[in-house]
Amino acid sequence: DTGVSQNPRHKITKRGQNVTFRCDPISEHNRLYWYRQTLGQGPEFLTYFQNEAQLEKSRLLSDRFSAERPKGSFSTLEIQRTEQGDSAMYLCASSPRVGGVGNEQFFGPGTRLTVL
């Protein structure tokens, strides 16, 4: 399967714990996005990478959230000191460098986080 992959698919954690999610984009895609989606809402943009550069991070929900893409390939999203309000689906998407930023994004299956 050459699509976007995310691991783990499900994560259950206790409040106060740290969690890290991984996203492997489509190999030739240099753009990578992280989103959060809650029930009944559309995906909410969190951050954006072009290669290894994090070009937009102003929408990360708090300083407990951070993301990296150290070699311009896979990315990780970390949430420190999780809270129950962090429970959501975390989606990763990638897109090719074609025709500017406004092009198709390919989404991974998401990581569903449950904070107890």
Partner 1 sequence: RKEVEQDPGPFNVPEGATVAFNCTYSNSASQSFFWYRQDCRKEPKLLMSVYSSGNEDGRFTAQLNRASQYISLLIRDSKLSDSATYLCVVRSGGSYIPTFGRGTSLIVHP
Instruction: Catalog residues that contact partner 1 under the rule CB under 8 A.
Output: 33, 35, 40-45, 48, 55-56, 59, 91, 100-102, 104-110
Q: How far apart are CA 111 and CA 3, in angstroms?
A: 15
Nearer to partner 1, 55 or 116 (CB): 55
- The least CB distance from residue 82 to partner 1, in Å, is 22
In the complex, minimum distance from the CB of residue 55 to partner 1, in angstroms, rounded to a whole number: 6
Contact between 115 and 15 under an 8 Å Cβ cutoff? The reply is yes
- Residue 83 CB, nearest approach to partner 1 (Å): 23
Q: Give whichever of 45 and 74 is closer to partner 1, judged by the CB atom.
A: 45
CA angle (24 as vertex; 10, 104 as ends), nearest 5:
105
Contact 8, 110 (CB under 8 A): no
